[in-house]
């Protein structure tokens, strides 16, 4: 029997996973909103307000920023991001590749952090680059917004008249 680790050992296996996930075509925009709603509080912990009611609109805003970022990427990059979210949205590949048994809205922060850490330190380039993509789009959207600047002491661009 092949183990999960062996299955993922080659880029080819990673490609198979992506293809399986892509063929299933889950919900709207690849289930992206549900996945990002779950991941953003974990990735932005320490930057988002601790109170859920205060964080909620900021998470929605950040998802909007991410969608805008993705829409501005090259078409091949948009396709790859689509495949990444397909992989994460489709339950069998979510369990196999991300090790997440619960659907996204029910996953605990600990399980989500463990997923991110496992991809971040994975032996497989495909998963490491998947982590890097999530990292970049979430932080990019958050710190692009002027409301995030106070907390880091950035005054914003100077005036030029």
Partner 1 sequence: MRDPFREGLAAGWQYIDASELTADKELEADVVIVGSGAGGGVTAELLTRAGLKVLIIEEGPLRTTRDFQMKEAEAYPQLYQESASRKTADKAINILQGRCVGGSTTVNWTSSFRTPPTTLNWWQSAHGLKSLSVEAMAPWFEMMERRLNVSRWAQDPNANNAALARGASKLGIPVEIIPRNVKKCWNLGYCGMGCPTNAKQSMLLTTIPNSLYLGAMLVSRLRAERLEISGNQITSLKCVALKVDGLNTSGINVTVRARHFVLAGGAINSPAILLRSKAPDPYSLLGKRTFLHPTLVSSGLFEQAINGYSGAPQSVYSDHFLDNVAVNGPLGFKLEVPPLHPVLFSTTLQGFGEAHAKLMKNFTNSQTILALVRDGFHPQSTGGQVRLRSDGSALLDYKLNETYWEAARRALLAMAEIQFAAGAKWVTPVHESSAGFNTWAEAKNGLAELPLEPLRCRVVSAHVMGGCAMGDAPERGVVSDVGRHFQIENLSVHDGSVFPTSIGANPQLSIYGLIARNASELAKTLTGQSKAATL
Residue 1 Cβ vs partner 1, minimum distance, rounded to whole Å: 29
Task: CB nearer to partner 1: give 76 or 105.
Answer: 76
Task: CB nearer to partner 1: give 95 or 132.
Answer: 132
Task: CB nearer to partner 1: give 34 or 141.
Answer: 141
Asked if 72 contacts 137 with a C-beta cutoff of 8 angstroms, the reply is no
Q: Which two tokens stand for residue 31?
A: 């289930």
**Applying CB under 8 A, which residues contact partner 1?**
42-47, 65, 69, 71-77, 113, 116, 120-121, 125, 128-129, 132-133, 135-136, 138-140, 142-145, 148-149, 151-154, 157-158, 160-161
| Contacts by residues 109-115 (CB-CB < 8 Å, ≥ 24 positions apart) | 109/41, 109/42, 109/45, 112/38, 112/39, 112/42, 113/42
Q: Which of the 8 DSSP states describes residue 88?
A: H
């Amino acid at each position: 029997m092949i183990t999960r680790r062996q299955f993922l050992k080659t880029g080819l296996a990673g490609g198979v996973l992506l293809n399986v996930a892509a063929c299933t075509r889950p919900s709207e925009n690849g289930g992206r909103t549900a996945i990002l709603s779950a991941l953003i509080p974990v990735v932005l912990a320490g930057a988002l307000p601790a109170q859920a009611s205060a964080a909620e609109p900021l998470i929605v805003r950040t998802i909007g920023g991410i969608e805008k970022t993705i829409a501005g990427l090259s078409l091949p990059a948009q396709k790859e991001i689509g495949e990444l979210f397909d992989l994460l949205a489709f339950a069998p590949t979510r369990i196999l590749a991300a090790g997440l048994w619960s659907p996204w809205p029910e996953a605990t922060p600990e399980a989500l952090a463990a997923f991110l850490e496992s991809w971040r330190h994975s032996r497989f380039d495909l998963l490491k680059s998947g982590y890097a993509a999530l990292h970049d789009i979430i932080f990019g959207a958050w710190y692009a917004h002027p409301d995030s600047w106070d907390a880091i002491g950035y005054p914003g661009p100077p005036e030029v008249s």
